[in-house]
Amino acid sequence: MQADYVIVGAGSAGCALAYRLSEAGRSVIVIEYGGTDAGPLIQMPAALSYPMNMKRYDWGYQTEPEPHLGGRRLATPRGKVIGGSSSINGMIYVRGHACDYDHWAEEGAQGWAYADVLPYFKRLESWHDGGRGGDPEWRGKSGPLHVTRGPGLNPLTQAFIEAGAQAGYPVTGDYNGAQQEGFGPFDATIYNGKRWSSANAYLRPALARPNCTLVHGLAERVVIEDGRATGVQLTRGSRTEIIAANAEVIIAASSINSPKLLMLSGIGPADHLKEHGIEVLADRPGVGQNLQDHLELYIQMAAKQPVSLYRYWNLTSKAMIGARWLFTGAGLGASNQFESTGFIRSRAGVEYPDIQFHFLPLAVRYDGKLAAKGHGYQAHVGPMRSVSRGSVTLASADPADAPKILFNYMSDPSDWEDFRTCVRLTREIFAQPAFEPYADKELQPGAQMQTDADLDTFIREHAESAYHPCGTAKMGDANDPMAVVDPQTRVIGVDGLRVADSSIFPRITNGNLNGPSIMVGEKAADHILGKDALPRENAIPWMHPAWATAQR
């Protein structure tokens, strides 16, 4: 088998690449290890806690024991299914802040400032405000990815936005528009009551074209001849074969599997590759380094009125919600239930938001386990720009073995200070008059946990990943020894090979990573096709006028 372009990974960025390259008339083969996304567990938004905890859909990765979190091993879900992690995530859509991308450009990713990437965010979107306000001039209207808003009917959902305003923070009608900072409604990759993954948005339309093919198999290595990538070796069942790339190989296998595949192919830190008996074809010390994530806590409250989603937390109600969704595509099953959010700054002197809230009108964990019996609500909260950095390394030279993942969470003292601030600011919001009719006791951490030492114990025992890994093949100037790809997403030191997914983020963006990952696929496609970049947009985002001297 052969094609102009061979893409490894049918995830958020890979599907966008397949769509744009095949749209341009190029032949494309997409290699994906996972299987189908058919069935309600993936397609029904309210069922989001199921696929990310199922071996059928998730690679099932875990971190190494995290030394600053009491040696806990944290789950690191990555999608093993068409659509990749966009098929198992919480469907929350956040572009990130304008300053994130300006920072990328300052770090050597020329051409990736906010003015450069905003046109690509617009190109990928079809935005629907759902009658809850917004910034239509900042949003896309005809892209493959439908972005919608839940109805926000639960009184707790509205109370969260009101409480933010009562605490002195701005309210924003569209955090993906001119003003990210403040409290307002969440955007989601949901359309007509269905998860609108990159598989639904991009891959299915691409596969409907005669020049795009999907192949299921495990990519073992990129074939490199005389310094040029010429194909991908993969196993399908008991067979090993090579799929030839006439133009280029593009790795879009996630920030965990992309560096793993690079290293198995001889591209990475030379000493590490030699340890595993792998011939060094390109000594790139940055491969697998610079690993980042968002860590978060669940601040949970008991509710004294029966207004939370707990009333549906029983088999009969779940069956009724599922049946209604199957027959009509509507009802509670058509929402991820994350319908309000907040982006705030932790202190004066921070230029743009560095804390994000996900509000949920239920006290529950991501894995679907209740914290306590009874009605409640919670905010997921965590810092957006942790200083800590980790790594992805090889456990062996066997492509079937999982890589070693160490985020090194909380390794910098500033992370502890930031997390304590997150807890205290969340408590302040939950203490506002908007929650007075509902607020009962604090379930987690618990009102008795007040001192820095108390909160540090809580953080160490309860902090969880928000599942936003990135940065392991960072984009930068070709002369940067730690850069892995240049600003055209070309792997430095190897011809005919690119990486285009969240691996290439120089620094993690502000919020959930699905939207930025799809944007990377969209923009990389233009680089690959040799097209002129979309014209820059010099839209000026709102910045708090007193950010230097005020926290809110």
Helix (H, G, I), strand (E, B) or coil at 422: helix
Instruction: Look at residue 63 and tell me whether its pLDDT is greater than 80.
Output: yes
pLDDT-based confidence at residue 129 (cuts at 50, 70, 90)? confident
pLDDT at 367: 62
Token pair in block for residue 163: 């409480």
Q: Which of 403, 133, 358 is nearest to 259 (CA)?
A: 403
Binding residues for FAD: 81
Task: Give the burial string for 225-263 (b: 16+ CB within 10 Å, else e).
Answer: eeeebbbbbbeeeeeeebbebebbbbbbbbbbbbbbbbb
pLDDT tens readout for residues 91-125: 999 999 999 999 999 999 999 999 999 999 999 99
Helix (H, G, I), strand (E, B) or coil at 239: strand
- The total of other beta-carbon atoms located within 10 Å of residue 38's CB is 10
The residue behind tokens 């408590």 is 427
Instruction: Look at residue 473 and tell me whether its pLDDT is greater than 70.
Output: yes
pLDDT at 369: 64
pLDDT tens readout for residues 437-451: 999 999 999 999 999
Residues ≥6 apart with Cβ < 8 Å to 330: 193, 324
Token pair in block for residue 310: 């707990």
pLDDT at 132: 79
Q: Which of 214, 251, 259 is nearest to 229 (CA)?
A: 251
pLDDT-based confidence at residue 188 (cuts at 50, 70, 90)? very high
Contact criterion met (CB below 8 Å) for 95 and 516: yes
Q: What is the mean pLDDT of the chain?
A: 96
Instruction: State the average pLDDT over residues 170-196.
Output: 97
The residue behind tokens 């430095």 is 492
Structural domains of the chain, with CATH: 2-529 (3.50.50.60)
Over pLDDT 90: what percentage of the chain? Answer: 95
Instruction: Write phi, then psi, for 31 (nearest 5 degrees).
Output: -100, 125
Instruction: Look at residue 159 and tell me whether its pLDDT is greater than 80.
Output: yes
Instruction: Look at residue 366 and tell me whether its pLDDT is greater than 80.
Output: no
Distance CA 19, CA 28 (A): 9
Least confident of 75-84, 145-154, 357-366, 538-547: 357-366
Instruction: Look at residue 213 and tell me whether its pLDDT is greater than 90.
Output: yes
Q: Which of 252, 186, 183 is nearest to 222 (CA)?
A: 252
Residue 210: cis peptide before it, omega within 30 degrees of 0: no
Distance CA 338, CA 310 (A): 15
Radius of gyration of the chain (CA): 22
AA letter at 76: T
CA-to-CA dists, residue 203 to 11, 18, 28, 84, 85, angstroms:
9, 7, 11, 11, 14
Instruction: Look at residue 131 and tell me whether its pLDDT is greater than 90.
Output: no
pLDDT-based confidence at residue 304 (cuts at 50, 70, 90)? very high
The residue behind tokens 């919020």 is 511
pLDDT at 390: 98
- Does the pTM surpass 0.95? The reply is yes
Instruction: Look at residue 373 and tell me whether its pLDDT is greater than 70.
Output: yes
- The total of other beta-carbon atoms located within 10 Å of residue 329's CB is 15
Among all residues, which ones are annotated catalytic?
Answer: 468
Instruction: State the average pLDDT over residues 349-375.
Output: 85
489 alpha-carbon distance from chain centroid: 19
pLDDT tens readout for residues 13-53: 999 999 999 999 999 999 999 999 999 999 999 999 899 98
pLDDT at 133: 80
Least confident of 74-78, 172-176, 313-317: 313-317
Least confident of 132-146, 238-252, 360-374: 360-374
